[in-house]
Structures are given as C-alpha cells and as structure tokens.
Amino acid sequence: MSPDRLARVALSKVFEPGDLRLPALLAHYGAADIVSRLVAGNDPRLHEASADVGSRLASVNAAADLERAAQAGIRFVTPEDDEWPAGLDDLDHIEPVQEMVGAPVGLWVRGPARLGRLTQSVAVVGARDATTYGCNVAAQIAGELVVADRPVVSGAAFGIDRAAHLGALSMRGTTVAVLACGVDVAYPVAHGSMLDDIARTGAVVSELPPGQTVKRQRFLSRNRLIAAFSEGVVVVEAAIRSGALNTATWADRLSRPVMAVPGPITSAQSQGAHELIRRGGLLVTRGAEVLEASAPMGSHAVADRRAEVLPRDRLTRRAKQVIDALEVDRAMTLEEVSAAAAVSPLDVAAVLQRAEVRGLVAQDCGRWVLTSLALRT
C-alpha cells in the first residue's frame, strides 16, 4: 500500500471537502508529508490546520479503514490510479466558490464503473421539489444521453436527480451518483434501493469516507465534483435559491457548458433555469442539443428544428404573387389575375403555365382556378 494512498485516506477522514488550504499544501508537500507535519504540529506554517485536525489525524488507522471499506465493496481511488478522472484536477486551477476549492484528496467508490472511462459524462441536476413535467424531461434527456453512450452524473436527491438516474437506468445506461455523505449511507433514506441499483452497474461516489453523514456545506462541496466529473451540466428546473444553480456556478468556473431546460414562466421551479439562460446558459430541449453542446466541436452537429420545404416555397416571390391573386371559389381571366397580382399579363401567363405543369392551377374555359394541391400548401 503506497504511503500517498494511506495519507490521502487519513486526510479524507479529517478535513471537510473543499478545504481552501489543501490544494497548496498537497502541491507543496505531498500527502504523506502533510500528515506527518500536521500530527507533529511543529510546522508554524501549518499551525491553524494542525490545531483543527492534528489530534484526530494521529488516531486514524488508514490501512484498517481501507480493509473495512474493501469488505463492504468500496474502493478508494487516488490520482495514482488509472481510473482517476483527469477532469477533477481542473478544480485545483480555479477561483474558489463560497470559500471552497480543490480536487478531492481521493474518491470512495462503490460500483463497477471505472471512473476514468466515464469520459464525456453529462450532469443532469435540478430541483428537489420538481414538477411532474421536470421529472419527465430529466428522465427523457438522461435516457437520450446514455443511448448515445454518455454516462449521466447526478446527486441522487429527490426530484430531478432521481429522475435523471432512473432515466439512465431504464435505458440500461451508466449513471454515477455523487453523494454528500459516505457511499454506504443511504441519503435520502428512501433512495437506498436506487443507490444499490446504481452501484450494481454504475458507481456511487463520494470524497467523504464511509459512514459520514450529510451536512449542509457538504452538498455545496459535492456539487463541485458533479460539475468537475462532467463535460457539461444540464439544469432541469431550479428555484432561484437552489443547489442546482450552485452546480451551474461550479460548471461555469470550470469552463464546462451550462445548459438549462425552459418551462412555463408561471412555474417557480423553472425560474432558476430561466435566469441561467438569461445569464448566458444554453437553452436545451432534448438530448441531441445537450450532446452538441457538451461534445468535442462538430462531433454532434444538430440540425435546427425547421419546417419541411413545401412546393410553394420553391416559387419566386413574383410567382407567389400571381398564385395568391387567384381566388379560391371563382375562375378568373388572365386580365383579372394580372390586376389583382400587380404583375403584367405576359408574366402572369408565363407563371400560370409553369404552375399548371406542377398541378397548382388549372384552366376552366380559358379562366384560371387553384387546384386542391395549391390550397394544401
């Protein structure tokens, strides 16, 4: 067992996630050296951190913790492992959000999915008190994403998060739940069996050691991992004050695309999504649009929604003017059409002859009428 790994286990047990002091310390000393210095408590540069966690750190038995975790089917992933997701290191190079920053010291993982292979995953997050509309949309988009081989990351909360995980599972896709507690803790309790389902095919992940319970700050530090894990964040319903907007802030800070699904402006649950779009987030309505925004440039170009081209669309404006001049229920002479269309009789005749070939108009005793084909288009 490498000293770095054991030291990271110890650090994950005593520091709160996102501690502002850790990235610089890790870069300067390395994990094993930090632990020794914090326990010794004699490095004046580490005075505050040592007072905070030194005594607890001294009593950690990291090897025993790893052993106990392994028995519960939980592994501890660090930067020295192949499956360490490179995107997490971006967290060491951004400005803090709400006084938190930094890659996790390690990840506790339950489930067969290798984290490093979860490249191009997309986060689908949103309101706990979501509407039926929001949940349907989240499940639909999550399903479309996993069908395109893009794992879906979310936070296993009530509402949108749950719908996103279930949408991915229902299409037999890979989904990852990032928790604000230990990966062996069911939070919320009602989601215990869903978390087990996720752990059977995907992964349940946390930077907190097994057994740890949720705290308010931990939801915010957890959100930074959801953003860092993903190539883009989709917000489906969010109130103005919501964790989903916090996740979007992390995504923005990390230069991940922020997307949001619109809803009725009369729905409080969509206010946060609309505010995100107003501030520059991308409006998305379906999986293909999410793929386009969160994939390498050009690999998922989406056709705009456009109407089909009708026969009439191919006419010149002058020809349309002639066709429009024909009345629906009365055959007209060439001269009548010319006057109504403001087009010379010569040109009217030319247009009508071409339109007759296409079946748009017909002659009736030298007068002209629209056909049913013209009326349909």
Q: How far apart are CA 227 and CA 307, in angstroms?
A: 36
Using CA of residue 250, residue 255, residue 260, residue 266, what is the dihedral sign? positive
What letter would DSSP give residue 100?
B
Q: How far apart are CA 212 and CA 195, in angstroms?
A: 16
The least distance separating its own copies from the CB of residue 60, rounded to whole angstroms, comes to: 12
Residue 267: Cβ-neighbour burial (10 angstroms; 0-12, 13-18, 19+): middle
* Site track for its own copies across 217-236, x = CB under 8 A: x-------------------
The answer to the question of residue 189 lying near its own copies (CB under 8 A) is no
The answer to the question of residue 21 lying near its own copies (CB under 8 A) is no
CA 246 and chain centroid, separation: 13
The residue range among 112-120, 167-175, 177-185, 278-286 that interacts with its own copies, by the rule CB under 8 A, is 278-286
* Nearer to its own copies (CB atom), residue 98 or residue 201: 98
- Phi-psi label, residue 66: left if phi above 0, alpha if psi -120 to 50, beta otherwise: alpha
Site for its own copies in 59-118 (CB under 8 A): 98-100
The answer to the question of residue 336 lying near its own copies (CB under 8 A) is no
* Nearer to its own copies (CB atom), residue 71 or residue 266: 266
DSSP for 137-196, written as a single string: HHHHHHHHHHHTT--EEE---TTHHHHHHHHHHHTT--EEEE-SS-TTS-SSGGGHHHHH
Site for its own copies in 124-153 (CB under 8 A): 133, 136-137
The least distance separating its own copies from the CB of residue 318, rounded to whole angstroms, comes to: 8
* Nearer to its own copies (CB atom), residue 255 or residue 316: 316
The answer to whether 270 and 264 are in contact (CB under 8 A) is: yes
- Judged by CB under 8 A, the number of residues near its own copies is 59
* Nearer to its own copies (CB atom), residue 191 or residue 218: 218
The answer to the question of residue 35 lying near its own copies (CB under 8 A) is no
The residues that touch its own copies, with contacts defined as CB under 8 A, are 14-16, 19-20, 48, 51-53, 56, 98-100, 133, 136-137, 215-217, 240-241, 261-266, 270-271, 274-275, 277-279, 282-283, 285-286, 289, 304-307, 316-318, 320-321, 324-325, 338-339, 341-347
